[in-house]
């Protein structure tokens, strides 16, 4: 049994991006709940940053990271034609980040971005002036798809359970590898 933290981005009333008349926070909570259900059904120890529609602030959620494989769900925003998936992590979790992104890419038939689906947080720091706290604490941030792209949003709506399974499959491969070592 592996310990997981599944966090939904943009908690405590922050809607995140609001592309295509949807709130990123609502999508993140929905996907968090599906992933959590799947992991718990497999017997894993899972904590979340809230239950149901509840979604905690980032500072509170980050306190749960220690000793857990930790992910935070987000969607990307950009132009209406922007495409793809990327996962932000420390370099020590680069392989897991790439596996998550590649699994989502195959499920949604969208491209992987950056370095085979991995986004180095130092790039975020140089581009936006901050290093993501969730990642700094040892978690991974999954930018699941571009919510600003109507086609990717529609694909998410049609395949959300399969996308959740793709993420779970990547996480369980990591857990299995850690167990073998």
Tell me, what's the pLDDT at 145? 98
Residue-wise pLDDT for 100-146, tens only, equals 999 999 999 999 999 999 999 999 988 888 899 899 999 999 999 99
Contact 33, 7 (CB under 8 A): no
Structural domains counted in the chain: 1
Residue-wise pLDDT for 61-109, tens only, equals 999 998 899 999 999 999 999 999 999 999 999 999 999 999 999 999 9
Supply the CATH number for residue 51's domain. Answer: 3.40.630.40
The mean-pLDDT minimum among 15-29, 30-44, 99-113, 115-129 falls in 115-129
Q: Exposed, middle or buried: residue 77 (CB in 10 Å: 0-12, 13-18, 19+)? A: middle
Using the structure block, give the residue that is written with the tokens 């689906």. 117
d(CA 83, CA 86): 10
Residue-wise pLDDT for 45-54, tens only, equals 999 999 899 8
Q: The domain containing residue 95 runs over which residues? A: 3-180
Using the structure block, give the residue that is written with the tokens 């017997």. 43
**What's the pTM?**
0.94
pLDDT at 179 exceeding the cut of 60: no
Using the structure block, give the residue that is written with the tokens 């500072």. 59
State the average pLDDT for the chain: 93
Tell me, what's the pLDDT at 181? 41
The greatest distance separating any two alpha carbons of the chain, rounded to the nearest whole angstrom, comes to 46
Tell me, what's the pLDDT at 1? 74
**Beta-sheet strands, E only, within the chain:** 3-8, 45-48, 69-76, 86-88, 118-119, 140-146
Tell me, what's the pLDDT at 176? 53
pLDDT at 15 exceeding the cut of 90: yes
d(CA 13, CA 32): 16
d(CA 179, CA 115): 27
Residue 67, both tokens = 């000793």
């Amino acid at each position: 049994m592996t310990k997981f933290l599944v966090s939904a981005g943009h908690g405590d009333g922050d809607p995140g991006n609001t592309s295509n008349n949807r709130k990123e926070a609502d999508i993140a909570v929905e996907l968090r709940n599906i992933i959590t259900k799947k992991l718990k059904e497999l017997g894993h120890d899972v904590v979340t940053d809230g239950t149901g529609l509840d979604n905690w602030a980032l500072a509170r959620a980050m306190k749960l990271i220690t000793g857990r494989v930790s992910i935070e769900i987000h969607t990307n925003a950009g132009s209406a034609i922007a495409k793809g998936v990327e996962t932000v992590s420390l370099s020590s979790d680069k392989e897991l980040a790439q596996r998550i992104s590649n699994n989502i890419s195959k499920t949604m038939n969208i491209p992987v971005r950056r370095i085979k689906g991995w986004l180095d947080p130092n790039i975020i720091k140089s581009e936006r002036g901050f290093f993501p706290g969730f990642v700094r604490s040892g978690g991974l941030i999954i930018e699941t798809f571009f919510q600003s792209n109507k086609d990717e949003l529609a694909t998410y709506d049609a395949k959300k359970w399969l996308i959740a399974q793709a993420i779970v499959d990547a996480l369980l491969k990591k857990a299995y590898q850690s167990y073998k070592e």
